[in-house]
Amino acid sequence: MFLAGINHGPVVAGVIGAQKPQYDIWGNTVNVASRMDSCGQLNRIQVTEETANLLTDAGYELECRGPTYVKGKGTLTTYFVRTPFDTKSEISK
């Protein structure tokens, strides 16, 4: 089982830490992707409306989840990416 969320947009990237350097990314894009993950459904990939538009243009099938409360962002229209693993019982949950 998994939870997955995807968003796209600008980020700030860099290396932090002197003793044990680590590469990381920051920004609103990252925060919204994290929220797509945390408020998603098991075994579904949840995306923002803007990302859904890009994926649709690229040939992916999406299912509108509808208005979804996203902490720190309010209510956003979100979508699920359709995959070969989706079943009617999982989709109806």
Annotated catalytic residues are: 35, 71
Please classify residue 90 by burial: count the beta carbons closer than 10 Å to its beta carbon, then call 0-12 exposed, 13-18 middle and 19+ buried.
middle
The pair phi, psi for residue 47, each rounded to 5°, is: -135, 160
Joined together, the tokens standing for residue 61 give: 């099938």
